Structure 1
Amino acid sequence: MSSSGVGLVLVAAGQGTRLGAGMPKALVPLGHGPHEAPIVVHALHAALACRALTSVVVVAPPDPEGRQQLTSAITAAGAALGQDTTAPAIQVVPGGAERSDSVAAGLAALPPGIDVVLVHDAARALTPVEVFDRVVDAVRAGHPAVTPALPVTDTVKQVVPGPDGLLRVVSTLDRSTLRAVQTPQGFLRQTLERAHGDLARRGTGGAALATDDCGMVEACGGEVTVVEGSPRALKITTPHDLEVAAGWLAQGAPGSGTSATGTPGPPSTRAQAASPATHDEGVPS
């Protein structure tokens, strides 16, 4: 496949209730001292290291206050640290009631000419740029849907509820065939649009597929290719995850979104909030 525009949909609409921070997850500070910045700023800096990106859409909480706070956080980070004029402009749009709604809103906001789409969770804020590059390269090589993943090291058992209410093992799965998927997941734009259109036609019956865009492609009969992920692509979900990620930042971990001095680098200051009128309102998952 020839080179084409690459767009990023960065999903940052979650409320992060398990973090217990009383604010949208994307705005929770990550790191200590000179490393500290909102999760979304770290995620953007890590993503913008991927030179293939030509367009970025951040999907914010659907409420006007949360959306404005996220836009301000992105703009402030750029203004304080200097503008990277080579980075694509960052558009901010409101998310929806479910993750799939938020991804659909970001997908719709990408401009024409974007043929490859990356969907990334802001909560995986320290994903190394090499993972982004592997996903983009695989899509450009002709694979319509790609996910990074890691081998499963634990023994995994399938269980069902027993008559006494306790879980009962019914089988032990072959872990050599199992992978724990991460983001960014990459797609030919038409593949992702078709999957979201199919989910919309399914209505509430497709809700179980909506946590994973590659799962939505699978449900449409599409093929998903796996590339190597990274342990650094940890999804920050709990306070413990937050401290683990902060420790990596302090160590100057590759892909951590820090410069040689440990300071988060600047996303573009051209962050623009889109009008909420064209998107569904609701509480994101």
Structure 2
Amino acid sequence: MEYVLTTNNLTKRYRNFQALSGLSMHVERGAIYGVVGRNGAGKTTLIRLICGLQKPTEGSYTLYGRNSERDDLNGVRRRMGAVVETPSIYGHLTAEDNLKEQYRILGKPSFDGIPELLELVGLSGTGKKKAKHFSLGMKQRLGLAISLAGNPDFLVLDEPVNGLDPQGIIEIRELILKLNRERRITFLISSHILDELSRLATHYGFIDSGHLVKEISREELEKSCRKCMHMEVSDVQALVRVLDQKCLEYKVDSKSCVDVFGSFEVTDLVLSLEKEGCKVFSMVERDESLESYYINLMGGESHA
């Protein structure tokens, strides 16, 4: 297995607060790795350490085979791009001029690649419009374009769809998938929008209080997520009584809906409910979502 990034017992302390504690993770080449955890779990701290914005208190990480304790990572970091917290853009400049500034910082000999980059992120038609007048989605795409200026094969994104409207979220999602598919760029993405992350990620790392609780691939997650029958009925209490009699596992979802797990004979269940005077309005098979898996794994509310 080839890894772009691994961390080994990575720890970060700020005076009396420990943001990361012995975190070890593995990001495969070509993966879209989703980092999942509550606010304050350590996601942004992890990203800042990997990007070289801070140094770990203990432990180490390996980037493209280079160890942070033994090697100079400046060279391999040129293969990375990152958007941490908010895109770093100059509001008084156009999209093109923002990219020119990044090209100068990187020491690139010409601006030849800028039109193609603007086309890639859907900003080729912005002309002389200043970045401060861009929508949030346009600013996020410009931030991605800037991170792509050095032709990286590893992108680190901290909350890439935060604050975007539905159309902006779709645009960023499609761009990430396109970059991963066509350019084989590996992604490490932190996001609190679990439904959106489930549409992107090929691998997940669940973090809680600075610890990596679990690493799992999308295929493993799909096998672990249980199927259930989502039932809407006229009398939830009657349904619960019948399910208890039949020793079936269930979860009450609302005043009229229950998720029933495991295999059961539908006709037998409906007939039993009829005897209880309970009507069945609908039955829909569902798979357990990433959010449900997260809540069951971590416990408590799903503040990622």
Normalised to the residue count of structure 2, the TM-score between the two structures is 0.26
The higher relative CO (CA closer than 8 Å, separation ≥ 6) is in: 1
Normalised to the residue count of structure 1, the TM-score between the two structures is 0.27
Which structure has more strand as a fraction of its residues?
2
